[in-house]
Structure 1
Amino acid sequence: MQGLTHIERNGCKKMLGLLSKGDILSLTDTVTNKMIAVESVKEAVEAILSYSNCAEELLKRKKVHRDVIFKYLAKEGVVIPSNSEKHQLIKKTLEFWSNATVKTEKVVVSQSPDTEAEQRVSVTAEAAGEAVFEPLALARQFCQWFYQLLNSQNPSLGQPPQDWGPQHFWEDVRLCLLTSINGQQTEEFHGSELASLRLLALARDERLLLSPNLEPHGLRALSSPHGLVLVAVAGTIHRDRACLGIFEQVFGLIRSPLDKNQWKIKFVNLKIRGQDSLSGAEELVSPALTCDSSELQLLCS
């Protein structure tokens, strides 16, 4: 029996956490041919993971519904069209797991009771070293952390919101929000409290789900000699099952020596474009960045 890799096992465990108790118990009977008696959901999940021949087999089970896989991918910050069929979601999930690298798991685990989200945004001293520091690896890790955190505030996902707040921003952070939906509107916010509240409103109040494109054409990173790292990412915006348009977001990140050397957000530029302002449907499938490295370089100066 091939079994599941460590990454696949963790991913499947998260996905099974989205199923109802009845579906999990039923799935246990199917996977184990009713040969294993379980007394709790935890035991049922362990049995499912242990007796599944491979990840693809488990994902194809009827009890692992399409919506469950979609929700899992959204939480992990994986871009996928909202009208994707189950077999497409399975393919994307398997690709996501196969592309996962050890670097994304090199995080600083604090001895204090910090949240998992705060731990994930930290990187090891080795990864922070000048000789091995890779801005693109940090950018991918940061985007997975940020959009999972922000999307968790959306009540339509039906999950407990993670620890969002001004603590993830520098006190003098600047947020610039440009929306092109039925006309163009620009908003600007200064300070960690106002910036975090405005971004929170996008997910919690406006119920928007931001799905970043972490493929090469949708993600770019650049670092300055002074410690500023720029992360630019494109993606799609959803509400429930509807895809509303695309976004392009640029973050400026700087380490905070007073906060366990974690990366904190110095500025955010967010452009949102509705479907009415798009030239073609292709952009909705896998949106690409429009800003290039020279434009990012200007933000470093």
Structure 2
Amino acid sequence: MSGLSDRQRVGFGKILNLLSEVDLLSLCDTVTNKLILVENITEATETILSFTKNAEELLKRKKVHRDLIFKYLAEEGVVMPSNSEKHQLVKRALDLWSPGKAVFDAEVQPEMDDTESDSANVKAEAGFDAQVLGQQFCQWFFRVLNSQNPSLGKQPENWGPQHFWPDVKMRLLSRTGSDQMEEFDGAETVNLRLLALAREERLLLSPTLEPHGLKALVSTHGLVMVSVAGTIHRDGACLGIFEQIFGLISSPLENNSWKIKFVNLKIRGQDALGGTEVAAPALSYNSTDLQLELACGCSTVDGTFF
């Protein structure tokens, strides 16, 4: 009997799919001590998953090369530094698969019908954990946004204005040599501007999902505010860091799916960092700042940068 969770089985299925047939069959022999004879790669994959008792143990197998885990994480929207060691990638994959209290089917079912809204799978539940929902929302959001980047060479996932409220507002503050503030109103406009970051500008945004890089709070009226920091990459190079605040409100007319009410994105380029470490940036917003914004019900950051 397999000791893997459903989420781990899905993740491993994608990683094993990246293996050559020779390596996959060899791994199957190793995992089963050559006790099981398989006839094709489908049987080999299922046998490996069935005989694996521990996710970390399988990730550490020699045939599960560092580059495979790196590529898998990138395809899931988790862009790690190009010089990351295997043990760091293993830990990140295990974190990605860690269970949470919020329901987020899009994370374990990324191949969805184009007519179906992924965000409809994030459900509001009594007593839900805002921090867990924030983490799973960010895993979904950045994976789907990054999938629009042609440099990943993967099929773009379901992205569009349906994930935003019609009156959504967005502010984009960038410091890449000179300061520039852009403001956008409406679901279609905000959707297209974020899409351009990935598709035209070919940026990959890698969020820091650990507590020092992500905070989430919920108001008594149901607004969830999620703040996340991370690094920005293009073609394997780290360009700088970002910090982003989302305001999320569930829609009772759409099966209580969470939709984005406002977005505040701040980008700081490498040239403006002055040699600051950017591998895993921490949030500049503290809980008090977020409580103030939550009380206002909107993003009120005045543009102060980190």
Q: TM-score w.r.t. structure 1 length?
A: 0.84
Partners of 1:77 and 1:143 within 8 A in 2: no
Partners of 1:82 and 1:238 within 8 A in 2: no
Kindly report structure 1 stretches of 4+ aligned residues shifted beyond 6 Å.
none
Partners of 2:77 and 2:144 within 8 A in 1: no
Partners of 1:3 and 1:53 within 8 A in 2: yes
Q: Secondary structure of the equivalent of 2:216?
A: strand
Q: Does 1:72 align with 2:77?
A: no
Q: Secondary structure of the equivalent of 1:82?
A: coil
Q: Secondary structure of the equivalent of 2:253?
A: coil
> Cα–Cα, structure 1 residues 222 and 5, in superposed 2: closer, same or farther, change >3 Å?
closer
Q: Secondary structure of the equivalent of 2:255?
A: coil
C-alpha deviations, 1:124-152, integer Å up to 9, x for none? xxx522xx133212211211111111111
Partners of 1:79 and 1:213 within 8 A in 2: no
Among 286, 289, 305, the residue aligned to 1:292: 286
Q: What amino acid does structure 2 have at the position aligned with 1:38? A: V
Match of 2:11 in 1: 11
Partners of 2:77 and 2:147 within 8 A in 1: no
Match of 1:92 in 2: 92
Please show how residues 96-135 of structure 1 align to structure 2 within 5 Å.
96-97=96-97, 100-105=98-103, 115=116, 117-120=118-121, 122-123=122-123, 128-129=125-126, 132-135=127-130
Partners of 2:15 and 2:68 within 8 A in 1: yes
Q: Does 1:169 align with 2:164?
A: yes
Match of 1:49 in 2: 49
C-alpha deviations, 1:69-122, integer Å up to 9, x for none? 12323344546323202232123333544xx2241446599xx966483354x2
The offset of 1:274, in angstroms, is: 1.0
Distance 1:104 1:25 in 2: 37
C-alpha deviations, 1:40-69, integer Å up to 9, x for none? 432221122223453334223344232221
Match of 1:212 in 2: 207
**What is the RMSD of the two structures over their aligned residues, measured on CA atoms?**
2.8
C-alpha deviations, 1:146-176, integer Å up to 9, x for none? 1111111122222211100000001111111
Structure 1 window deviating more from structure 2 (189-198 vs 80-89): it is 80-89
Structure 1 window deviating more from structure 2 (135-144 vs 83-92): it is 83-92
Match of 2:301 in 1: none
Distance 2:15 2:217 in 1: 33
> Cα–Cα, structure 1 residues 173 and 237, in superposed 2: closer, same or farther, change >3 Å?
same
Segments of 5+ residues of structure 2 without an aligned counterpart are 297-306
Q: Secondary structure of the equivalent of 1:128?
A: coil
> Cα–Cα, structure 1 residues 51 and 101, in superposed 2: closer, same or farther, change >3 Å?
closer
The offset of 1:190, in angstroms, is: 1.1
Q: Secondary structure of the equivalent of 1:16?
A: helix
C-alpha deviations, 1:255-275, integer Å up to 9, x for none? 112221111001111011111
Partners of 2:120 and 2:254 within 8 A in 1: no
Q: What amino acid does structure 2 have at the position aligned with 1:93? A: A
Q: Secondary structure of the equivalent of 1:272?
A: strand
Distance 2:86 2:276 in 1: 21
Percent identity, please: 61
Please show how residues 153-192 of structure 1 align to structure 2 within 5 Å.
153-192=148-187
Please show how residues 142-153 of structure 1 align to structure 2 within 5 Å.
142-153=137-148
> Cα–Cα, structure 1 residues 251 and 102, in superposed 2: closer, same or farther, change >3 Å?
closer
> Cα–Cα, structure 1 residues 9 and 275, in superposed 2: closer, same or farther, change >3 Å?
same
Distance 1:105 1:44 in 2: 31
Q: Secondary structure of the equivalent of 2:12?
A: helix
> Cα–Cα, structure 1 residues 3 and 299, in superposed 2: closer, same or farther, change >3 Å?
closer
Among 254, 270, 276, the residue aligned to 1:275: 270
Q: What amino acid does structure 2 have at the position aligned with 1:189? A: F
Q: Secondary structure of the equivalent of 2:206?
A: strand
Segments of 5+ residues of structure 1 without an aligned counterpart are none
